[in-house]
Structure 1
């Protein structure tokens, strides 16, 4: 990867101070005519995101939708996630467990929303970003949090439900020990009197379940239009 070089037009765009809507048009036409389809395409997207200090609003949607679509639909297992690519996601978009970018946190959340299955480790990881915002005042979620306080706000409740929505069963929220542990840790770090009432309802709806799912030992496999590369 040390010899990786950006090709035109990405190499020119990466040197700009502001990434504009016209640049996205060039990227769609020349760099990603079929969309983001390979691991190298991901590297290009991340390089552009990190190199341009200012970005047009259109970039956020392009970044999130392109990378989420690739990770879920063009990586193994297609249409879903497993423990291996969940670990890759956490390693790629976080430093010491902290997602520092609000945009990259939005990417992680969108990946979870469009995947037919989400490993519980990734769900717990997303919830832990709320804990980090409350206890350590760090991370991408902290950057978007409207109120800096120890209590759970309505915004925090909406965030938690965005992470848990796909596992809700009527009035019950079944969770594994790892997710349950993160939520309980958040609970201990806040004062009940300062929490939004909906938080209490969420905690009461939790139902601890011990999921036994086999882990695989494969590497992250990237799927393009022709083949899967181990």
Structure 2
């Protein structure tokens, strides 16, 4: 390696795997993922996959995680992948990425979905229906969690 040459290593997948094995997403982890050296700002396929897997792992996470995940993946989706007028195929990609029909989204995943929806000029009906169903499931879970349990004093 010559002096002044930056080698872009795809470290995010290894970092995400280590975080997942540890079982908790810390603020330092988010800082590390935020500051990885890259030749350009676009996410690689392996970074997108690793971040998605980490979000789906449902680990306890620091408050910065949801914002970071939504900004990184949402920015990539809106700028580099689908733009502000996604096709049906691109909408289906996002639905599948978030866990598919019937998925119970994590806070980070829900933030991503909301960020994308807020910034679209047009939205396929399937993506709107998916978002609506996710919201209904989340509201139902919240209502169920607040119900008094039988036999509790």
**Unmatched 5+ residue regions in structure 1?**
134-138, 149-230
Q: For residues 108 and 13 of structure 1, what CA distance do their matches in structure 2 show?
A: 23
Q: 1:88 to 1:20 in 2, by over 3 A?
A: same
User: The residue matched to 2:123 in structure 1 has which SS?
Assistant: coil
Q: For residues 51 and 31 of structure 1, what CA distance do their matches in structure 2 show?
A: 25
1:108 aligns with 2:106: no
1:99 aligns with 2:77: no
Q: 2:16 touches 2:54 (CA, 8 Å); kept in 1? A: yes
Pair member with larger Rg: 1
Q: For residues 72 and 97 of structure 2, what CA distance do their matches in structure 1 show?
A: 16
Alignment partner, residue 53 of structure 1: 59
Q: 1:10 to 1:60 in 2, by over 3 A?
A: same
Greater CA drift, 50-59 or 84-93: 50-59
Q: How does 1:178-189 map to 2 (within 5 A)?
A: none
Q: 2:104 touches 2:134 (CA, 8 Å); kept in 1? A: no
Q: 1:13 to 1:129 in 2, by over 3 A?
A: closer
Q: How does 1:38-77 map to 2 (within 5 A)?
A: 38-51=44-57, 53-76=59-82
- TM-score normalized by structure 2? 0.70
Q: How does 1:28-39 map to 2 (within 5 A)?
A: 28-30=34-36, 35=41, 37-39=43-45
Question: Structure 1, residues 168-208: CA drift from partner, whole Å, max 9, x if none?
Answer: xxxxxxxxxxxxxxxxxxxxxxxxxxxxxxxxxxxxxxxxx
- Once the two structures are TM-superposed, the CA of residue 50 in structure 1 deviates from its matched residue by 3.5
- TM-score normalized by structure 1? 0.49
- Once the two structures are TM-superposed, the CA of residue 62 in structure 1 deviates from its matched residue by 0.7
Greater CA drift, 64-73 or 103-112: 103-112
Greater CA drift, 114-123 or 47-56: 47-56
**Unmatched 5+ residue regions in structure 2?**
1-10, 145-153
Q: For residues 52 and 128 of structure 1, what CA distance do their matches in structure 2 show?
A: 19
How many residues in Structure 1 have an aligned counterpart in Structure 2? 133
- Once the two structures are TM-superposed, the CA of residue 56 in structure 1 deviates from its matched residue by 0.5
Q: Which residue of 123, 128, 151 maps to 2:128?
A: 123
Q: Which one has more relative contact order, counting CA pairs under 8 Å at least 6 apart?
A: 2
Q: 1:57 to 1:64 in 2, by over 3 A?
A: same
Q: For residues 74 and 90 of structure 1, what CA distance do their matches in structure 2 show?
A: 17
Aligned-residue CA RMSD in angstroms?
A: 2.7
Q: For residues 35 and 106 of structure 2, what CA distance do their matches in structure 1 show?
A: 27
Alignment partner, residue 27 of structure 1: 33
- Once the two structures are TM-superposed, the CA of residue 20 in structure 1 deviates from its matched residue by 0.7
